[in-house]
Amino acid sequence: MIPRPAPRPKKDATIALINIVFLMLIFFLIAGTLAAPLDPDLQLVETGDLEGREPPDALVLKADGSLTYRGEPVTAEAHIAGLEDLSAIRIVPDRAAAAETLVSVAATLRDAGAGKVIVVTERALQ
């Protein structure tokens, strides 16, 4: 009788996976260095010291639930009535304003004819 050959152990695929990851690493290192560098004499504009302020065309919702537009107290209905372009209304809520109040004001603006209500946040002002 002829003895059977011993079964071969299955090859481990980790070496191939390591090779692929290594090649991808080399590719991205080379691709990153091919990008044109900025001119060394160029000094970029710094905006970190600018005062964050709401856009001039935005409705401001204060912490107590009152609304102002360009510093003047206003209601949502009166604000909509005074606008010509109702496609987008910006509202800047105070951080301490209640979420229910913000949702209520946004719903009132939508019901009064606003196309969409855009909530302006702190990150958008920076």
Nearest of 42, 70, 46, 10 to residue 126 by alpha carbon: 46
Which token pair is 85?
């372009």
- CA dihedral (120, 55, 48, 93) in degrees, to 10, reads -40
Distance of CA 82 to the CA centre of its chain: 30
- Kindly give the confidence (pLDDT) of every residue in the chain, 126 residues in length, as a single tens digit, with 9 standing for 90 and above: 788 888 887 777 788 899 999 999 999 888 877 666 666 766 655 655 555 555 667 888 888 989 988 888 998 888 888 888 888 888 888 888 888 999 999 999 898 888 888 888 765 444
The full set of domain ranges for the chain reads 59-125
**108/74 Cα distance (integer angstroms):** 13
